[in-house]
């Protein structure tokens, strides 16, 4: 990809973002190393971080597999909804994977 920025500009942005990312992570380690007890309000809020990150990573693969939002003819979305229904009722990870992948294979390959 051709750009009008020089290599010094690009590398300085990469290094600055790396230092900033490291600083943010190190600040949390330092902060929680110095606090004896985490407030209840903060620990309740932190419970929702992993599901939010997982949703932010997984939902675009279901809703927009080709880069644009597709609801009609989207076999990944249908398989994801079926897998979510299995998880809701059975609460078993292995069953969710088997049913979700089975649904995707049936819709995609017509087995």
**pLDDT confidence of residue 67:** 77
Q: The dihedral of CA 46, 50, 51, 53: what is its sign?
A: positive
Sketch the domain layout of the chain as residue ranges.
50-111
Could you read off the pLDDT of 43-92 as tens digits, one per residue? 899 899 999 999 999 888 888 877 778 778 888 999 999 999 999 999 89
The closest alpha carbon to 83, from 106, 110, 111, 103, belongs to: 103
Is pLDDT at 98 greater than 90 in this prediction?
A: yes
Judge whether 32 and 38 are in contact, CB under 8 Å. Answer: yes
- Mean residue pLDDT of the chain comes to 89
């Amino acid at each position: 990809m051709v750009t009008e920025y020089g290599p010094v500009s690009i590398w300085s942005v990469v290094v600055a973002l790396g230092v900033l990312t490291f600083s943010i992570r190190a600040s949390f380690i330092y902060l929680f190393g110095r606090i004896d007890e985490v407030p209840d309000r903060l620990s309740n809020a932190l419970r929702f971080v992993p599901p939010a990150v997982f949703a932010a990573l997984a939902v675009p693969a279901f809703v927009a597999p080709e880069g644009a939002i597709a609801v009609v003819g989207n076999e990944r979305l249908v398989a994801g909804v079926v897998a979510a229904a299995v998880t809701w009722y059975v609460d078993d990870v292995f069953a969710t994977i088997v049913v979700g992948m089975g649904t995707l294979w049936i819709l995609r390959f017509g087995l």
